[in-house]
Amino acid sequence: MTFPAFSLRQWARDGRLYAILSAAGFSLKAIFVKLAYGAAPVDALTLLALRMGIALPLFGWLVWMARGAATAATARLDGKDALRILLLGTVGYYLSSLFDFYGLQTISSGLERLILYLYPTLVLVFQVLWTRRLPAARTVQAMAICYAGLGIGFVHDLAQAGHGRAIWVGAAWVFASAVTYALYYLGTGAMIKRLGSMRLAGLAGGASALLVLAHFVVAGTPALLWTLPASVWWNAGLMAVLSTVLPVYWMALAIQRMGAAQAAAIGSLGPVLTMLASWLVLDEPMSLFQAGGLALVMVGVARLKPRPAPDAAQAAEAAPRRKLFA
């Protein structure tokens, strides 16, 4: 029996390498948050301000990288564009990240990833409410499978913790993060056509970073930043680079080379990688119930019908999203 030879150059050429790197980067965010929480008594707003402050110039780098991708990357912004970008930054990297950081204070990173991975089903719910058209039976079945898996994973964390109320509160925060991310996803469609995916990600991310920093100046304690140990700064920097900006860039490269549907399929590795990293790095328990819940969520998401991959011209400006659903 012969096996195809592994070629890193070929995987980079066809996009598989970039899709895997993107999934790995996104999956490590919860690990860096947990490591930072364990290194010092830092609150969610302070840690998020560190992350977004470091990421702010990198979001500018994304805008610069998009300068020659297509005519959309050089389209002039008007007042309506600026307002929409501000709204996207508010519900996306600002509120979604803040809610997620609050939730990770009390629940495991594995459960956090299970809940966040439900955002495609929330997108479908919002589309139903907007269009007033019921989804197909296959879609309803897929959503039921997803939430059954979430239930299994949630019961596991509730059984492991001696303080059930904290798990409920943490799960509610992360679910609110999934809701705001779904709203962010729905709001990017028309803007991507006008500005391009890379430029929009940079502009919306930059706007959210400024919102986070403004929130921190008003409600936080900036002077405490200099009292934090180097390990907190280190994990915040890794989060900003490896789990914020670079995964967006890598996913855009993957979509350009292999199309959105194929890149999204590889992006499904994210929850598995998070669970494995939680077990290896954080020593979080991984039971058969938790693995089974994760499997059900992934099966349910996989059953949601993806949109066709864009053609070569459209792929260059496709959104750098891990999932695109009809």
Annotated domain spans of the chain: 22-315
Encode pLDDT of 184-203 as tens digits: 878 876 677 777 777 888 89
Please state, in angstroms and as integers, the Cα–Cα distance from residue 24 to each residue in 3, 84, 243, 254, 273, following that order.
25, 30, 8, 13, 7
What average pLDDT does range 159-174 have in this prediction?
Answer: 77
In tens, the pLDDT along 268-285 reads: 667 777 777 887 887 777
User: What is the model's pLDDT at position 268?
Assistant: 65
Whether residue 167 is predicted with pLDDT greater than 60 in this model: the reply is yes
Which pTM value belongs to this model? 0.77
Q: 321 pLDDT exceeds 50?
A: no
DSSP string, 214-272: HHHHHHS-GGGGGGS-HHHHHHHHHHHIIIIIHHHHHHHHHHHHH-HHHHHHHHTHHHH
Tokens 């280190």 belong to residue: 234
Q: How far is CA 108 from the centre of its chain?
A: 17
pLDDT of residue 80: 84
Range scoring the smallest mean pLDDT among 90-99, 205-214, 306-315 = 306-315
Which pLDDT score, from 0 to 100, does residue 266 have? 67
- Amino acid, res. 83: L
For residue 304, pLDDT beyond 70: no
pLDDT for the residue numbered 306: 44
Residue 101 pLDDT grade (very low, low, confident, very high; cuts 50, 70, 90) = very high
CB 113 within 8 A of CB 178: no
What's the pLDDT at 294? 73
Q: Which of 6-20, 155-169, 195-209 has the lowest mean pLDDT?
A: 155-169
* CA 92/CA 165 separation, integer angstroms: 27
Q: Which residues contact 183 (CB under 8 A, 6 or more apart)?
A: 91, 126
Strand partners, 325: 306
pLDDT band at 161 (very low <50, low <70, confident <90, very high): low
Would the pLDDT of 325 be above 70? no
Q: Is 173 helix (H, G, I), strand (E, B) or coil?
A: helix
Select from 151, 172, 142, 108 the least CA-distant residue to 289.
Answer: 151
> Does the pLDDT at position 176 exceed 50?
yes
- The larger pLDDT score, comparing residue 171 to residue 283, is at 171
pLDDT above 50: residue 313:
no
Cβ neighbour number for residue 288 with a 10 Å cutoff: 9
Q: Looking at residue 1, what DSSP letter applies?
A: -
Residue 264's pLDDT is 61
Average pLDDT, the chain: 78
Q: Look at residues 208, 206, 188 and name the one whose alpha carbon lies nearest to residue 72.
A: 188
The structure tokens 């919002």 sit at 126
Q: Is 81 exposed, middle or buried (0-12, 13-18, 19+ CB in 10 A)?
A: middle
Q: Are 81 and 191 in contact (CB under 8 A)?
A: yes
The answer on pLDDT for 64 being more than 70 is yes
What does DSSP assign to residue 322? Answer: S
Rounded to an integer, what distance in angstroms lies between the CA atom of residue 157 and that of residue 151?
10
Tokens representing residue 61 in the block: 């780098």
Torsion angle, CA of 259/187/192/214, rounded to 10 degrees? Answer: -120
Tell how far CA 6 is from the center of its chain.
29
Lowest mean pLDDT segment, chosen from 54-68, 151-165, 220-234, 309-323: 309-323
Residue 4: predicted pLDDT? 45
At 75, the pLDDT band (50, 70, 90 cuts) reads low
Mean pLDDT across the stretch 6-29?
A: 80
DSSP string, 43-84: -HHHHHHHHHHHHHHHHHHHHHHTTTT-GGGGPPP-HHHHHH
Task: Write down the pLDDT at residue 324.
Answer: 33
